[in-house]
């Protein structure tokens, strides 16, 4: 069995599966920073094998002298390599089979695959520990931001109370551009696709799934629980309008898609959804394709991480940092910070019991009695208004009314919305966004 944890003068031999933007970036970083990497790792790191779909594609990097495998699983089993880098993507299929094959052969694995870890992270962690092989995944969450190592190492002495993050650069770019230009979601999404910030099918990004994958990994690292993607509450940004962004600005907020993991008396909250955050908060100033993660620990207080969350350079930087840890013998701890057998099942806090404040935008007929009926609907569920915003009048015509709601439970708030929908004079479905103090 190979021992990729043992440092020494002999090169660390690496096999890379997936030669897209990030895979090619890894090869470029390893070649371009060869001397610095060898000094930090205590030995050279060399790529000995690769696997990808298209052998003839020009990737802007030389593959001379590197063995080619059409089958990544075969490469994981048979390549002359100590460590396999998995950059294929996807929760199952060849990515999962390749990682399992590499770990079973005693080879270390470095991966950027958040979907794989969100669905199978705890099982793969146990497999790696049983094989005595490292499993490293800094690049799986927030690209070049060292949040995985931050939680596992730098903040290991803390009882973490909350993790809050902008975890998807595509959504952050769209929301930033909507605010700066006043344009609506569909228009800005089309531009993001043209610029390469959004995929042709943007569902994983704009519907919050990508951020939820990453949040489930951070939750496990922060709270010592098994990875539990199934219990993440997920909402995307498709329903956020330019009008909501304008009202948020007037009220002193910015709208961000946040991933939030929080310890509560009822269990651990895991939720991804648009939030209104105060303009004065650190996370409100994180714009464009940037990511940010804020961790609150009992001893350290609040710590903020910020940087580029995707792309060739930042993600390749994180992958190579993991390879350096493997080469130097530092990647010996359990993958999620504590042994897989010690990870506790996550007790999910029911979303209906979440306590928070809310923004609500209504379209109503501007006539006497409508507002009183809305107030009655809220009062029936013990939900109280903090403020009301209405611009102009449209006698007997539709007008937008914005309410902010004092802290209440999610369940009570949703029941109040159901009552409001049935009020005569309320048009369309109310638009609600949670207000989050960050």
DSSP character at residue 337: S
Q: Nearest CA to 359 among 399, 427, 406, 299?
A: 406
Sheet with 12-17, strands from edge to edge, namely: 67-69, 45-51, 12-17, 83-86, 108-111, 135-136
Q: What is the CA radius of gyration of the chain?
A: 24
Q: Which segments of 233-345 are extended strands (E)?
A: 233-234, 253-264, 267-278, 290-297, 301-308
Q: Nearest CA to 116 among 231, 257, 236, 227?
A: 227
Q: Output phi, psi for 97, to 5 deg.
A: -60, -40
Helix H or strand E segment including 402:
strand 398-409
Which residues are CB-neighbours of 237 under 8 A, at least 6 positions away? 171, 174, 175, 185, 206, 208, 257, 274
* DSSP-derived pairing of the beta strands 135-136 and 108-111: parallel
CA atoms within 13 A on the CB side of 173: 21
Q: Out of 96, 152, 214, 256, pick the active-site residue.
A: 214
CB 283 within 8 A of CB 166: yes
Tell me the C-alpha to C-alpha distance, in Å, between residue 38 and each of 11, 28, 107, 324, 327: 9, 15, 20, 8, 9
The Cα angle at residue 176 between residues 235 and 241, in degrees rounded to 5:
55
CB 245 within 8 A of CB 258: no
Per the structure block, which two tokens stand in for 47? Answer: 């790529």
Residue 149 is a catalytic residue: no
3-class secondary structure for 141-210?
Answer: CCCCCCHHHHHHHHCCCCCEEEEEEECCHHHHHHHHHHHHHCCCHHHHHHHHHHHCCCCCCCHHHHCCHH
Which residues are CB-neighbours of 196 under 8 A, at least 6 positions away? none
Q: How far apart are CA 429 and CA 408, in angstroms?
A: 20
- Which residues are marked as active site? 214
């Amino acid at each position: 069995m190979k021992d990729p944890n043992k440092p020494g003068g002999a090169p660390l031999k690496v096999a890379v599966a997936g030669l897209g933007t990030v895979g090619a970036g890894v090869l470029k970083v390893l070649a371009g920073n060869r001397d610095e990497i060898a000094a930090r790792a205590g030995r050279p790191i060399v790529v000995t094998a690769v696997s990808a779909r298209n052998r003839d594609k020009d990737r802007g990097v030389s593959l001379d002298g590197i063995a080619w495998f059409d089958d990544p699983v075969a490469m994981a089993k048979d390549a002359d390599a100590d460590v396999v880098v998995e950059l294929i993507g996807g929760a199952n299929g060849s990515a999962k089979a390749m990682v399992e094959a590499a770990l079973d052969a005693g080879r270390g694995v470095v991966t950027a695959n958040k979907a794989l870890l969100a669905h199978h992270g705890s099982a793969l962690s146990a497999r790696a520990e049983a094989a005595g092989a490292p499993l490293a995944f800094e690049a799986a969450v927030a690209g070049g931001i060292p949040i995985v190592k931050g939680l596992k190492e730098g903040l290991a002495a803390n009882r973490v109370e909350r993790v809050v993050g902008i975890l998807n650069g595509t959504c952050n770019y769209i929301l930033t551009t909507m605010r700066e230009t006043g344009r609506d979601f569909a228009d800005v999404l089309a531009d993001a696709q043209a610029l390469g910030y959004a995929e042709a099918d943007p569902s994983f990004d704009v519907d919050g799934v990508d951020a939820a994958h990453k949040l489930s990994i951070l939750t496990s690292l922060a709270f010592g629980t098994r990875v539990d993607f199934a219990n993440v509450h997920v909402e995307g940004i498709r329903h956020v309008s330019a009008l909501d962004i304008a009202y948020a600005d007037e009220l002193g907020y910015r709208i961000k898609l946040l991933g939030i993991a929080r310890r509560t008396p009822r269990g651990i909250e895991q939720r991804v959804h648009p939030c209104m955050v105060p303009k004065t908060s650190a996370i409100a100033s994180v714009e464009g394709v940037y990511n940010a993660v804020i961790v609150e620990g009992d001893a350290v207080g609040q710590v903020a991480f910020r940087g580029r969350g995707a792309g060739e350079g930042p993600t390749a930087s994180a992958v190579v940092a993991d390879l350096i840890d493997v080469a130097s013998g530092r990647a010996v701890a359990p993958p999620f910070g504590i042994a897989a057998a010690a990870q506790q099942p996550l007790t999910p806090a029911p979303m209906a019991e979440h306590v928070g404040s809310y923004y609500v935008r209504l379209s109503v007929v501007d006539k006497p009695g409508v507002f009183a009926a809305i107030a009655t609907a809220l009062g029936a569920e013990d939900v109280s208004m903090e403020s009301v915003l209405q611009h102009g009048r449209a006698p007997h015509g539709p007008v937008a009314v914005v309410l902010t709601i004092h802290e209440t439970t999610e369940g009570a708030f949703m029941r109040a919305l159901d009552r409001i929908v049935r009020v005569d004079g309320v048009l369309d479905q109310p638009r609600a966004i949670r207000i989050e103090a960050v």
